[in-house]
Amino acid sequence: MPPGLRKFVLSVHITTSVGWIGAIIAYIPLDLTTRSSQDAETLRAAYLAMELIAVWAIVPLAWAALVTGLIISLGTPWGLFRHYWVLISLVLTAVALPVLLSEMRTISALARIAADPTTSDTALRALPSTLVHSVGGLIVLLVVLWLNVYKPRGLTPYGWRKQQEQRRALQRSKQDEQRKVPQL
């Protein structure tokens, strides 16, 4: 991947990944409100805002982070399967996205109930929270962030084979160059 394109994709990846984390951080206080408030209008507003944040920020940013992460890993020497930290980041992100999409059904159902003016105050107070999922998702993303910043050492078996192949190819090319140089 050319350096300019790599930098652009990396910038988009960082922006969407940090945006995904930020959107969850914005979502969590609303989720906490649904667990702690007794005011019906506050509960209605919180559930509706949670759906808006999830639909318009969290889900699109999650997809964008996954896609740009794949592009970067496939277009740079890090590769997709060479280093454990890349592979673990991919697996965590690939698991987080379906969990998020599954949780969206719950979030949308809660928002529909909250938006219904016939829902009683008592029924609103009885609605569940999605706090376990939102905090869990944040923890997963912070682990992925840590992996991507610190890049802990460790090649996968595939990465080790590729590294050995590159070393052998480099040694062969050096030997070929030495054979081509005329001896004086």
pLDDT tens series, the chain, 184 aa: 899 999 999 999 999 999 999 999 999 999 999 999 999 999 999 999 999 999 999 999 999 999 999 999 999 888 999 999 999 999 999 999 999 999 999 999 999 999 999 999 999 999 999 999 999 999 999 999 999 999 999 999 999 999 999 999 999 988 888 877 666 6
Residue 116: its pLDDT value, please?
98
Pair 145, 99 in one domain:
yes
Pair 139, 117 in one domain:
yes
Report d(CA 138, CA 116) in Å as an integer: 30
What sign has the CA pseudo-torsion 15, 18, 24, 29?
negative
Residue 182: its pLDDT value, please?
67
Distances, alpha carbon 128 to alpha carbons 44, 96, 112, in Å: 13, 21, 13
- Whole-prediction pTM value? 0.89
Report residue 175 as tokens. 């030997």
Domain carrying residue 176: 156-184
Pair 147, 129 in one domain:
yes
Residue 137: its pLDDT value, please?
97
Bridge partner residues of 83 (DSSP): 155
Pair 17, 84 in one domain:
yes
Pair 28, 57 in one domain:
yes
Domain count, the chain: 2
Pair 71, 138 in one domain:
yes
Pair 148, 162 in one domain:
no
3-state secondary structure string across the chain: CCHHHHHHHHHHHHHHHHHHHHHHHHHHHHHHHHHHCCCHHHHHHHHHHHHHHHHHHHHHHHHHHHHHHHHHHHHCCCCCCCEHHHHHHHHHHHHHHHHHHHHHHHHHHHHHHHHCCCCCHHHHHHCCCCHHHHHHHHHHHHHHHHHHHHCCCCECHHHHHHHHHHHHHHHHHHHHHHHHCCCC
Pair 163, 123 in one domain:
no
Pair 45, 90 in one domain:
yes
Pair 127, 109 in one domain:
yes
150 — phi, psi (to 5°)? -90, -20
Pair 55, 122 in one domain:
yes
Residue 180: its pLDDT value, please?
79
